[in-house]
Structure 1
Amino acid sequence: MTGTSSHLRATAEAYDAVAVRYADMARDALDGFPLDRAVLAAFAELTRTTGRVAELGCGPGCVTAHLRDMGLDVFGIDLSPVMIDLAREAHPDLRFEVGSMDALDLADGELTGIVSWYSIIHTPPQDVPPYFAEFRRVLAPGGHLLLAFFESEGEPVVPFDHKVVTAYRWPIDDLAELAAEAGFVEVGRMLREPHEGERHRRGHLLMRLGE
């Protein structure tokens, strides 16, 4: 088994094990976070009339449903089969599929938008560029990508003990640079400080694929 496949299997198994509890916590995850909702609203405004959007790493589908409620033609993909079962149960009107962000079962240029909402956080740093390459492949020129992640607050990439499985905090400039190398142009960024009960600063990057 390669390092990449073993990492993916470990991540899927870890989320399968906590899926029901995680879904309960995630149900109201955007309540009380106006800046997070504002970033999603900006993405929705840019993609609402352009075509299909995917949330990659959708978990139990809460953000996917939020994007649907803002008028997007959206579906979700996640590595965890149990999470996908929960998403389908909670949102039977939406499409959810099991899949990996590094090998999407989508045609070239099929999407006009991608949301990766804290879904690259468990990816070892050396494996992040292939994810951006896959995002580029499935996005149409001019399509938008929204990333949410844990920001490292001036430090290099930092692993930390996420409640589910090891995750990484990224310098926002470094992540933006990797995306630029894959052909993405930054539209805007948002950093917010941790709320009560959160440990780390949150980073958000909104990008557009070059024409």
Structure 2
Amino acid sequence: MIDLYYWTTPNGHKITMFLEEAGLPYRIVPVHIGRGEQFEPEFLRIAPNNRIPAIVDRAPADGGEPVPVFESGAILLYLAEKTGRFLPQDLRGRNLALQWLFWQMGGLGPMAGQNHHFTQYAPEKIPYAIERYVKETSRLYGVLDRQLADGRDFIAGEYSIADMACYPWIVPYEFQHQRLEEFPHLMRWFERIRERPATKRAYERAGEVNSAPVIDEQSRKVLFGQDASSTR
């Protein structure tokens, strides 16, 4: 059994996508980030960065004590290695999938996240910041579009954790001021993943946990007003 500490964010969706694809038994433990539940001491023991998602694997491969894992990319890699699925086994395929996993973690996620913040959530509209991150998001869409331009179905050839990492960050493309029609290879890939039964199930689970996402003034302070004191 996997305990998944989860909220309905792109990073959270990555893990439900994997778990649904793999058919692993799991239990969602909601962590309402708008109410500050990610700063509870119990969660901090599992996730030192106070961010979802995190998991606790209660049946690790070595048969030992439960294994906690935080950071979505690390969780995807852990689960892929645990199950032997969604990560190519050959040297070149594995290398390619991991490069694109880290590309998402270091590029697409952070840049799209800043895009979301300055276009949707910031109390002051700062034109320079909005333009900066909308353009960088567009550039990253272009990078992924080029990777898919040779007609491949998935980023690393076969469906992998690289696709699961990237897809949830493309879902809110309209909020990011992007038009998928400008990226035909990316759009083809996006539509293929959207129609996978496991993807549909993962997003249905999101609706069960948080059917009406709201960012109000209280949650804005919790989400965007933290400093080092919140980790102590």
Same fold (TM over 0.5): no
Structure ranking higher in strand proportion: 1
TM-score normalised by structure 2 residue count: 0.29
More RCO (CA 8 Å, sep 6+):
2
Bigger-Rg structure (1/2) = 2
Structure ranking higher in helix proportion: 2
